[in-house]
Chains A and B, each alone.
Chain A
Amino acid sequence: MKKKQTKMILLCGMLATMLMVSACGSGGGDKAASSGKPYIPVISKGFQHQFWQAVKSGAEKAAKEFDVEITFEGPETETQVDKQIEMLQTALDKKPSAIAFAALDSKAAVPLLEKAKANNIPVIGFDSGVDSDIPVATAATNNKAAAALAADKMAELIGESGEIALVVHDQTSRTGVDRRDGFKEQIESKYPNIKIVDIQYGGGDQLKSTDLAKAIMQAHPDLKGFFGANEGSAIGVANAVSEMKKSGKIVVIGYDSGKQQTDAIRNGTMAGAVTQDPIGIGYQAVKAAVMAMKGEKVEKDIDTGFHWYDKSNIDSEEIKPLLYE
């Protein structure tokens, strides 16, 4: 009986190891060595959200165009700084030609980035970038300016006075802080009659963001506007407004896209949103990495841009390619 069990455990262990090995193999661990192409690992801040999938498709587009091998990975949530550092470590161990990196926590990554620099591996920052001198270039949206644009639109739509609130994804990440501050500072400096009555954080979780947006609406019955600072937050706010049957009465402004958000904009629950260019971010990051790897000169700050969209221009040629499903 006992023996049988031990055997069983051994068997399971072997199976698990095999699975892991095969998974690593297909995951691209040894790709660089096998194909002989330059290898550029892209380490993002996530992979589950549609936004990251769009960044990934941009990165893949550039990889194809410049004939390099890339891998794309990121931790499950934007708080897993430790997991991301591990990914960076593993990527460095593979002796890549360059690295594209979107830091969750720049300071935590500095020792590894120093190591990359010492080994002459160029580092390209993207999205929130890396807060240090090491990256030769950063391809990112100016989140503060983008949120300020959202604030201007909000002011315009509520007639420059009244109570508004924010639902943000978190208070520690660079994008969370920048979008919150960009929005807040713009309102405070330009629109004295608008009052931000509450700022809460829902972790980008749609269900939690919905419930907390509802609580904010309960606490502030006169609320005129709501800003959701990322996809999950914005959808949460839109859900809350429609569940409370206040669609159209509260101005909802979102960020990024995704089918639920674009649907809400089409049916009028949301007034509009600011979109980044996620595909452009991925593309520019890999392109800059290729140029840096070849020793070409790269622009230090690559602004990948942002745009306001609403019902009127959602299907326009300028906006449509930037939106993801």
Chain B
Amino acid sequence: MKLHSTQSAAAGGQQVKKTGTKGAARQKILAFASLIILILVFSLLSGNFFRFDNLVGIMLSTAVIGVLALGSTFVIITGGIDLSVGTVMTFSSVMAGVFITYWNGPIYLGVIGGILAGSLCGLVSGLMIAKMKIPPFIATLAVMMITKGLSLIISGTKPIYFTDKPLFNQLTMGSIRGLEIPNAVWIFLIASVIASFILTKTIIGRYNFALGSNEEAARLSGVNTVLWKVVIYVITGTFSGIAGIMMASRLNSAQPALGSGYELEAIAAVVIGGTSLSGGMGSILGTVIGALIMSVLTNGLRILSVAQEWQTVIVGLVIILAVYMDILRRRKNKS
């Protein structure tokens, strides 16, 4: 039933978005409930969990992966994937280091340059996928390897420090006076609002869902699928760029060896948030909640001093549980 409506509506786009958000809305409630339950359980098990500075700490540790996950949401809704977000993030932070430290440029230039470096990587992936028809998995895998290598080459396998520019660290670690919440948390929240706006209120979002539900139908109804696909990968790259700046600012250095594996954490957050890997449905709020679930879980398990080996097992089980519940509910909707 649902499948049917999605297909016939692909041409219009508008209706697709509705079905997409409606399905995701339920998942959001479910994900949100899981998040609350997790917080309750950890609060009961340890008095040190539900405290202002720990909650701020959780938000802060969500920020980088969260912004990566925001970007990943866009490509995953098209039914594609971006494996390069983690290393593109690193690449952007290294480029910021080049602009700010190597060339002694102003901070704003480094921030903009770093983010644009991310967008550029997205553009390359997008062109390979939309124009050259290379499958997203392969194209972004290649970009992942290339950016990883380039980060090491450009930095000379050495971290680039921002210690001469103390303001750069304040970008994420400073806070509005009187409020003990680091800027990184606000940046993450603002980025979420912007991402949500793009996805639900603009033509990019509408075509994003259309591409994911039925690309052929979208093409036949006159949508320039090549152009919009490239645009979407550029958006993902841009968010990776923002994450790169945030990471560099927090660590006060661009670490060229970091970043691999972050893409999988971002994808996990997106999937827990109810975005389907087969495309056509998903939401930003879901992704934000998914990212929060991941970091609440790791933080809580650490506070309880659960052995690390078990922490990863538990996170894996939670991913299975979250996705399976989503599948069950959808099956119910269909019948």
* Contact surface of A with B, Cβ cutoff 8 Å: 5, 8, 47-50, 53, 76-77, 171, 197-198, 200-201, 205-207, 210-212, 214-216, 218-221, 235, 239, 243-244, 258-260, 263, 325
Contacts and interface: CB of A to CB of B under 8 A. Distances in A.
Contact of B159 (A8, A201, A259): A259
A210 B299 CA distance: 12
Given A218-B49, A260-B159, 18 more contacts: A48-B152, A53-B157, A53-B158, A197-B305, A206-B258, A207-B247, A211-B57, A211-B60, A211-B295, A215-B54, A218-B51, A218-B53, A218-B57, A219-B304, A220-B48, A243-B60, A244-B53, A260-B161
Contacts of A263: 163
Given A214-B57, A219-B303, A206 B251 contact: yes
B311 to A, nearest CB: 9
Interface in B133-160: 133, 152, 157-159
B64 A207 contact: yes
Contacts of B304: 219
B48 A218 contact: yes
Contacts of B247: 207
B302 interface: yes
Given A48-B152, A244-B53, A200 B299 contact: no
Nearest to A197: B305
A220 B48 CA distance: 8
Interface in B148-199: 152, 157-159, 161, 163, 173
B147 to A, nearest CB: 14
Contact of B173 (A171, A198, A215, A243): A243
A47 B157 contact: yes
B246 to A, nearest CB: 10
4 closest A-B pairs by CB: A215-B302, A48-B257, A211-B61, A219-B303
A125 B133 CA distance: 48
B308 interface: yes
Contacts of A216: 302
A210 B302 CA distance: 12
A219 B302 CA distance: 8
Contacts of A201: 308
A198 B311 CA distance: 14
B253 interface: yes
A47 B155 CA distance: 13
Contacts of A215: 54, 57, 298-299, 302-303
Nearest to B255: A206
B206 interface: no
Given A201-B308, A211-B61, A263-B163, A218 B303 contact: yes
Nearest to A244: B53
A280 B119 CA distance: 43
Choose among A76, A219, A244 the residue with the greatest number of B CB atoms under 10 Å from its CB: A219
B258 A207 contact: yes
Given A211-B61, A218-B51, A48 B157 contact: yes
A205 B251 CA distance: 11
A53 B156 CA distance: 10
A283 B253 CA distance: 29
Interface string B304-321: 110011000000000000
A235 B253 CA distance: 11
A219 B158 contact: no
Interface in B37-62: 46, 48-49, 51, 53-54, 57, 60-61
Contacts of A214: 57, 61
B305 A198 contact: yes
Contacts of A197: 305
Given A211-B61, A239-B251, A263-B163, A49 B257 contact: yes
A49 B158 CA distance: 7
A8 B132 CA distance: 9
A252 to B, nearest CB: 16
A260 B157 contact: no
B90 to A, nearest CB: 11
Contact of B308 (A49, A77, A171, A258): A171
B256 interface: yes
B250 interface: yes
A207 B159 contact: no
B238 interface: no
Nearest to B61: A211
B283 interface: no
A258 B160 CA distance: 11
B89 to A, nearest CB: 11
A260 B253 contact: yes
Interface string B223-267: 000000000000000000000000100111101111010000000
Interface centre among A8, A207, A212, A220 (most CB of B within 10 A): A207
B303 to A, nearest CB: 4
B55 to A, nearest CB: 10
Nearest to B257: A48
Interface string B213-231: 0000000000000000000
Contacts of A221: 48
B157 A259 contact: no
Interface string B255-292: 11110100000000000000000000000000000000
